[in-house]
Amino acid sequence: MSAPVSYTVLENAIGVLFRDKELLLQALVHRSAARESRAHGNNERLEFLGDAVLELVTTEYLFRISTKPEGELTNWRSALVQGSHLADVARELKLGEYLFMSRGEEASDGRNKQSTLANALEALIGAIYLDRGFEVAQEFCLEFILQDLTKLLAAGKDKDEKSMFQEIVQDKVGVTPHYEVIEEDGPDHDKHFTSAVFIGEEKVAQGTGNSKQRAEQAAAKEALIVKGWK
């Protein structure tokens, strides 16, 4: 299904003029778009690359701007690259309007799904890196993603609920909580997991997400509320 907006508008919005338009197109093809995927490939490989580029850019940026210890910088990096933040950036760029996807995916509000938008933004970073090099990809990340650090820290987005829950449980009970996937559903390109967190044999809470890690984070967040520790 064709995206409804000219790619020139997107290039102007991000300040990057692609030499190879096919790379830009590939970054915007969701896996559900079978016809476009056959012609151009979907954006999963570019997402894989873009994720690595973003992590390197973010790590170097934080290393240069702060002398905080490794653990704190790791939490800052997590806040910057977490799916919810990347999806918000993608929405600001109206990235969902440019995506190729199946009619069924679009009908299920696919253009606004957090995972789809976050993945597309990472794929875009991968495409910029291949087409224009590391410095241009770095500039893009600095302008649209990393500049939100102060705002994210003020909102407490650097707080990792899973780590927080583990520290509290170890302090209060003397054991380490563990997680189990209790359900997974959805097609391969849009998997959803439900994970439960346990203290010993006690099932404290459960949460869902589009990856096991995010499901565990959601479970830990709910467990903090259930226990009255947040």
Residue 141 lies in a domain: yes
pLDDT value for 38: 67
User: pLDDT digits over 51-104, tens only?
Assistant: 999 999 999 999 999 999 988 898 899 899 988 899 999 999 999 999 999 999
Rg of the chain over Cα atoms, rounded to whole angstroms, equals: 19
Give me the pLDDT at residue 78, please: 86
Given 47, 122, 131, 222, which residue is catalytic?
122
Region 25-37: mean pLDDT is 84
Q: 3-state SS of the chain? A: CCCCCCHHHHHHHHCCCCCCHHHHHHHCECCCCHHHHHHHCCCHHHHHHHHHHHHHHHHHHHHHHCCCCHHHHHHHHHHHHCHHHHHHHHHHCCHHHHCECCHHHHHCCHHHCHHHHHHHHHHHHHHHHHHHCHHHHHHHHHHHCHHHHHHHHHCCCCCCHHHHHHHHHHHHCCCCCEEEEEEEECCHHHCEEEEEEEECCEEEEEEEECCHHHHHHHHHHHHHHHCCCC
How many C-beta neighbours within 10 Å does residue 173 have? 12
Domain containing 136 equals 7-154
Whether the Cβ atoms of residue 102 and residue 2 lie closer than 8 Å to each other: no
CA distance linking residue 46 with residue 229, whole number of Å:
40
How far apart, in whole angstroms, are the C-alpha atoms of residue 111 and residue 211?
A: 19
Q: State residue 63's pLDDT score.
A: 97
Considering the chain, what is the average pLDDT of its residues? 91
Whether 56 maps to a domain, the answer reads: yes
Among candidate residues 154, 182, 215, the one where a domain is terminated: 154
Select which of 47, 51, 158, 222 is catalytic: 51
Read off the pLDDT of residues 119-174 as tens digits, 9 standing for 90 and up. 999 999 999 999 999 999 999 999 999 999 999 999 888 877 888 898 899 989 99
What pTM was estimated for this model as a whole?
0.74
The C-alpha atoms of residue 208 and residue 214 are separated, in whole angstroms, by 7
| Among candidate residues 154, 180, 211, the one where a domain is terminated | 154
2 belongs to a structural domain: no
- The number of folded domains in the chain is 2
Active site (annotated) includes residue 106: no
- What per-residue confidence (pLDDT) applies to 162? 85
pLDDT, residue 36, reads 60
- Kindly report the CATH number assigned to the domain that includes residue 68: 1.10.1520.10
Task: Label residue 5 by pLDDT band (50, 70, 90).
Answer: low
Backbone angles phi, psi at 80, to 5 degrees: -75, -35
- Give, in degrees to the nearest 5, the angle at Cα 51 between 123 and 68: 145
- CATH number of the CATH domain containing 178: 3.30.160.20
pLDDT the model gives residue 210: 83
Which pLDDT score is estimated for 191?
83
122 labelled catalytic? yes
Task: Give dist(CA 147, CA 180) in Å, integer.
Answer: 36
- Tell whether 115 and 19 lie within a shared domain: yes
Residue pair 14/93 in contact (Cβ under 8 Å)? The answer is yes
The answer to whether residues 184 and 209 belong to one domain is yes
